[in-house]
Amino acid sequence: MKVVVLLGSDSDFEVIQEALEVLKEFGVSFQLEVSSAHRSPERTLRLVRETEAAGAEVYIAVAGKAAHLAGVVAAHTVRPVIGVPVDSAALSGLDALLSTVQMPKGIPVATMGLGKMGGTNAALLAVEILSLGDPGLKDKLLAYRARMAARVEASSAKLRQKL
């Protein structure tokens, strides 16, 4: 497994569903686990240690509210950690965004945007990191971008037809 995806709660799953499809589309192996920085701190630490020893190269941590999961994971590995703040109801995710992005100097977390959008970008960033040592992945990323650009062009043509 190359990527470890940690969710602070199973209630975060929806946020990361599309991201898992992206990882599958790129043929990137991953391990998905639920582990909370607060409710199961020892499990979180054990998972980081075990997966790093097993060869994990990038971590994605998804958490809401007082979101410490990404920071705690980053504290225990020098592998890149990507944080996805969950946009839960009370403060629309501002709480999780600030908790994830405002890491003290020395322990970086690459913080994505809120919710599903951030989840999908986390998967793409993980693929980009892995592509540094894998030219095949870089080619797949370029093809992905080209398909996106083609969709924009097609949408423009479709809109013009409506006028």
Q: Give the nearest distance from C-beta 11 to ligand RP5 in angstroms.
A: 3
Among 3, 5, 12, 48, the residue binding ligand RP5 under the rule CB under 6 A is 12
Contacts with ligand RP5: how many residues (CB under 6 A)?
10
Part in contact with ligand RP5 (CB under 6 A); list of ranges 16-24, 60-68, 114-122, 131-139:
60-68
DSSP letters of 29-65?
A: -EEEEE--TTT-HHHHHHHHHHHHHTT--EEEEEEES
Mark residues 65-104: x for contact with ligand RP5 by CB under 6 A, - for none: x--------------------x-x----------------
- Give the residue among 100, 88, 79, 80 at the shortest CA–CA distance from 37: 100
Residue number with CB closer to ligand RP5 (12 or 57): 12
The DSSP string of 51-118 is HHHTT--EEEEEEESS--HHHHHHHT-SS-EEEEEE--TTTTTHHHHHHHH-PPTTS--EE--SHHHH
Residue of the chain from 64, 93, 118, 119 that contacts ligand RP5 (CB under 6 A): 64
User: Half-sphere exposure of 97 toward its Cβ, with a 13 Å CA cutoff?
Assistant: 12
Q: Is 11 in the site for ligand RP5 (CB under 6 A)?
A: yes
Binding site for ligand RP5 (CB under 6 A): 8-9, 11-12, 36, 63-65, 86, 88
